[in-house]
Structure 1
């Protein structure tokens, strides 16, 4: 089989090999790990796994059993596996490796249902990481020699808040240290733009809305942002910046062609706001264009994207823009991602699913500014929200 061929291993084979491995992490394993390409052209059954050579493969994509009985899969280079999958009787690991141990960044799915996503050093948790326990509790921050350095006098639970960022060409994806990305919060869990004595705690970046297109153009950093977010298991969503300068059908086709939106992502987003820094100049142009025509075009985009993906898009805008230019009752059929800064929540009469609470945050792992957003609910409700979306998608 060629380098790009698929390695087929059924859950039954893995259970047979591991001798009764718990099914909970196996479900995560099957959903999150793409096993592609092996040198052997035969179907890899449980008996075939047991007969693999005990010498580490030299080169290419291979599955290998260590003398300790651990299963390794990935691309080997001169007998070394720098990134791959490690399955033991206690866990499933996907990520970077050194000398056949987790080292660098990776995710461990334990057979008791716990999950750790973060940094490793020679098999131990080391650095910034997130532990998500089977009972729903979460711990995020610095780890050392496998142990969590818990902040003193912290009052909040990580699972009570869900934060994310949004990215475009204004953020250089290569300058983001994704494995160290973290937001600063106070003891209650509220995220702020900058760290100081009262904001010394950390919170994970759970999701990222990434700009895919604007008008009939694509964002030059979209592919890099998307690839890095997915590599580090950040939940993503794609957004389109609407412009009155381009034909709406061309904008629809542009997003569908270039967004790479897929099942499991957050809903597509239509960004409706001023296209100029000089907002008064843009409003003058918009009124000349026709506010009603802009609204009709925006609704056409929303309906076309919903038809294409079978999921209702979200509208991004500000409270003021929504009041003045999105007062068509049809917009009330959509969820909103509202911007309102200085950590002041949108007014109670403006329902929101996501809230852009600051535009000048400097998170850990990035030395420039980025927008920070909050989901309107806990981590549990956020996952239920995603699950409900996926059930609707064909």
Structure 2
């Protein structure tokens, strides 16, 4: 209805021919905008998913669930001109658990010339200080590696205060040890309830499988976006999470060890 009123107004104000020209130019703008949005995505058959090609740095994350990885095949893989450039590897979980494939994955990722990052799966019911020390005791980082990551996906029935304070203790303990601010990985719902307004100073890696939601996050803190969990990579068993670096390329150093 509003569109019809607008068209009537244009015709009355500018006359038939000028109105047609204006509508024609408006149509061109709409089509070009639509094409631009669609060109941001390209279907890459080798990965089996749509990649957001508006970003130039693509990577994955892996854990023991991917079993033994053939890093030689991963290193050689190219798909429609896209090369994987980074990988996050699960290292620890809770206060005592350690990923059995971490050491090999960590070593082979470097040989494959992929930028590496290590992450810890956080349990709010476990002592956050013991969880931080579990990560510190198993993970040695080098210059150029990503900052440590806390993987925050569950609340286990804990109060908001317990969750937020525990996360902060883990983050601050790990930051003091590695002398770099850790990255928070989480999903949209947990971000809105526990991170936003409470832990905003930490870099954010968001798992959100809809492009419509990216504007909901602090643009100055959102560095990484996990956009798909159903990718396929030759050399890796099972489905693989795909991520992109959403900042300008020259800002990568902001979330890496100096």
TM over 0.5: yes
Aligned length in residues: 201
Deviation of 1:291 after TM superposition, in Å, equals 1.9
Deviation of 1:304 after TM superposition, in Å, equals 0.8
Contact 1:172/1:221, CA 8 A, preserved across alignment: yes
Matched, 1:366 2:233: no
* 3-state SS, counterpart of residue 66 of structure 2: coil
Q: 1:181 aligns with which of 54, 60, 77?
A: 77
Q: 2:12 maps to what in 1? A: none
Distance between the aligned counterparts of 1:270 and 1:298, measured in 2? 8
Q: 1:295 aligns with which of 154, 160, 164?
A: 164
Q: 1:231 maps to what in 2? A: 111
Deviation of 1:387 after TM superposition, in Å, equals 6.9
Contact 1:319/1:338, CA 8 A, preserved across alignment: yes
Distance between the aligned counterparts of 1:250 and 1:356, measured in 2? 28
* 3-state SS, counterpart of residue 348 of structure 1: helix
Contact 1:212/1:218, CA 8 A, preserved across alignment: yes
Q: 1:222 aligns with which of 102, 107, 120?
A: 102
Gaps of 5+ in 1: 1-157, 185-200, 275-282
Matched, 1:255 2:122: no
Deviations 1:259-296 (A, max 9, x none): 2222220111111112xxxxxxxx5x42xx32211110
Alpha carbon RMSD of aligned pairs, Å? Answer: 2.3
Q: 1:206 maps to what in 2? A: 85
- Residues 390 and 326 of structure 1: is their aligned pair in 2 closer, same or farther, counting only changes over 3 Å? closer
* 3-state SS, counterpart of residue 199 of structure 2: helix
Q: 2:180 aligns with which of 306, 311, 319?
A: 311
- Richer in strand (by share): 1
Deviations 1:77-108 (A, max 9, x none): xxxxxxxxxxxxxxxxxxxxxxxxxxxxxxxx
Contact 1:338/1:346, CA 8 A, preserved across alignment: no
Distance between the aligned counterparts of 1:273 and 1:322, measured in 2? 10
- Residues 253 and 390 of structure 1: is their aligned pair in 2 closer, same or farther, counting only changes over 3 Å? closer
Distance between the aligned counterparts of 1:297 and 1:377, measured in 2? 28
Equivalent positions of 1:153-172 (< 5 A) are 161-172=56-67
Distance between the aligned counterparts of 2:213 and 2:98, measured in 1? 30
Deviation of 1:332 after TM superposition, in Å, equals 0.6
* 3-state SS, counterpart of residue 216 of structure 2: coil
Equivalent positions of 1:1-394 (< 5 A) are 161-176=56-71, 177-182=73-78, 184=79, 201-216=80-95, 217-274=97-154, 285-286=156-157, 289-327=158-196, 329-341=197-209, 344=211, 346-351=213-218, 352-366=222-236, 368-378=238-248, 380-381=249-250, 384-386=251-253, 389-391=256-258
Contact 1:271/1:316, CA 8 A, preserved across alignment: yes
- Residues 259 and 330 of structure 1: is their aligned pair in 2 closer, same or farther, counting only changes over 3 Å? same
Gaps of 5+ in 2: 1-52
Deviation of 1:367 after TM superposition, in Å, equals 5.0
- Residues 367 and 162 of structure 1: is their aligned pair in 2 closer, same or farther, counting only changes over 3 Å? same
Distance between the aligned counterparts of 1:160 and 1:214, measured in 2? 31
Q: 2:10 maps to what in 1? A: none
* 3-state SS, counterpart of residue 84 of structure 2: coil
Distance between the aligned counterparts of 1:234 and 1:374, measured in 2? 14
Deviation of 1:301 after TM superposition, in Å, equals 0.6
- Richer in helix (by share): 2
Deviations 1:304-350 (A, max 9, x none): 111111100110001111112334x33111110001115x2543130
